[in-house]
Amino acid sequence: MTDNTTNNTTDNTPRLDHVVLWVRDPVAAAGFYERTVGLEPLRVDEFADGKVSFPSVRLNAETILDLAPHDMARRMNMLPGAADSAGHPVNHVCLSLSADAFDALRTRLQEQAVPMTDFSYDSYGARGKARRSFYFRDPDGNIFEARHYD
């Protein structure tokens, strides 16, 4: 019998990819999540060496938490007002979709006149580099990123 409860990062069902958390000290935050929560730190040395903008911690095989320093807020310009989220716990939530579901979402957003960004390419996420991604807001002002890896 096949166990259908096992996560498979190669299927394309909608799932949470990553959440960006604003933190005062990304290295200390990664240490907390590693020691206290038991999550695997990612790219901490690269962040400390100035090679990447932020470190992350792995929640599971499919999901990471990005630990963004507050001073990164001034560069968060994917949508007007996005930088204003600094000081709030979450900057945006990313949805990982299949290519078809990604295109369908973008079409629905266009049909409903929801403003969105142009595509970004090869953005880093929980499963490596995503082929395409874009940002939009929900009616309450929450920022979402949609992406696909295939």
Tell me the mean pLDDT in the region 93-109: 91
Structure tokens given for 34: 């590693």
For residue 39, the model assigns a pLDDT of 86
Say whether 51 sits in a helix, a strand or coil. coil
Say yes or no to pLDDT of 70 above 90: no
Q: How far is CA 112 from CA 81, 89, 105, 106, in A?
A: 21, 29, 11, 10
Tell me the mean pLDDT in the region 53-69: 92
Of residues 34, 117, 43, the one with CA closest to residue 81: 117
For residue 93, the model assigns a pLDDT of 85
- Report d(CA 107, CA 101) in Å as an integer: 10
- Report d(CA 3, CA 24) in Å as an integer: 41
Say yes or no to pLDDT of 4 above 50: no
Residue 84 pLDDT level (bands cut at 50, 70, 90) = confident
Residue 6 pLDDT level (bands cut at 50, 70, 90) = very low
Backbone angles phi, psi at 88, to 5 degrees: -90, 155
Q: Are 33 and 39 in contact (CB under 8 A)?
A: yes
Say yes or no to pLDDT of 139 above 90: no
Tell me the mean pLDDT in the region 48-74: 91
For residue 89, the model assigns a pLDDT of 63
For residue 3, the model assigns a pLDDT of 35
